[in-house]
Amino acid sequence: MLAPDLRVLFCGINPGLWSGATGHHFARPGNRFWPALFRSGFTPRLFRPDEQGDLLALGLGITNVVPRTTAKADELTKEELRDGGRALVERVARYRPRILAVLGLGAYRTAFGRPRTTVGRRPDALDGTEVWVLPNPSGLNAHYTLDGLAAEFRSLREAADRAPAGRERAGG
């Protein structure tokens, strides 16, 4: 789910068992990624996980920090997350999305060695790409309601609507 110069590259932590079985991102029933994407205005309607390929036409892509499938993200090791963070930096340099949105505060903190990070836009960019950290949309994340999650996604969408494209970006 990658292409050059995307508006936003969403980055999950890793595939869950359901996503691993179906080959679709955020596929587990109860995952709130697709409803939050719609409610925030990123998509014109509620997409299903099997329609993930349609996101590319909207300038949106999806990747993961770690490729290994697990039942829960807390099964990943710190080393896997740090290795995944380094690989993600390389992916961002190659594909140059305007914004990278990492979906999972704890995973971001570990992968990038930033233990005090909070949700929202990060002050540091990756090779001219803005970085945002959003809550994990998994139904297992009880800290955010769907409305709260959609509000965070909406802030990101509003920033994406304002972000310059291509070489106009910082560092481009």
H or E segment at 14? none
Residue-wise pLDDT tens digits, 78-100: 999 999 999 999 999 999 999 99
Question: Which residue type is seen at 5?
Answer: D
47-67, pLDDT tens digit by residue?
Answer: 999 999 999 999 999 999 999
Is the pTM of the predicted complex or chain greater than 0.85?
yes
Please, what is the Cα angle at 38 between 84 and 156, to 5 degrees?
55
Contacts of 79 (CB under 8 A, 6+ apart): none
Q: Is 31 a catalytic residue?
A: no
Active-site annotation holds for 14: yes
Q: What is the dihedral of CA 116, 36, 33, 158, to 10 degrees?
A: -60
Report the pLDDT value the prediction gives residue 166, as an integer from 0 to 100: 57
The domains located in the chain, with CATH, are: 8-166 (3.40.470.10)
Tokens of 142: 């009880």
Instruction: Spot the catalytic one: 25, 31, 64, 136.
Output: 25
- Containing 133, the helix (H) or strand (E) segment is strand 130-134
Task: Give per-residue pLDDT as tens, 92-136.
Answer: 999 999 999 999 999 999 999 999 999 999 998 898 999 999 999
What pLDDT sits at residue 172? 47
For residue 33, is pLDDT > 90? yes
Active-site residue, from 14, 31, 64, 136: 14
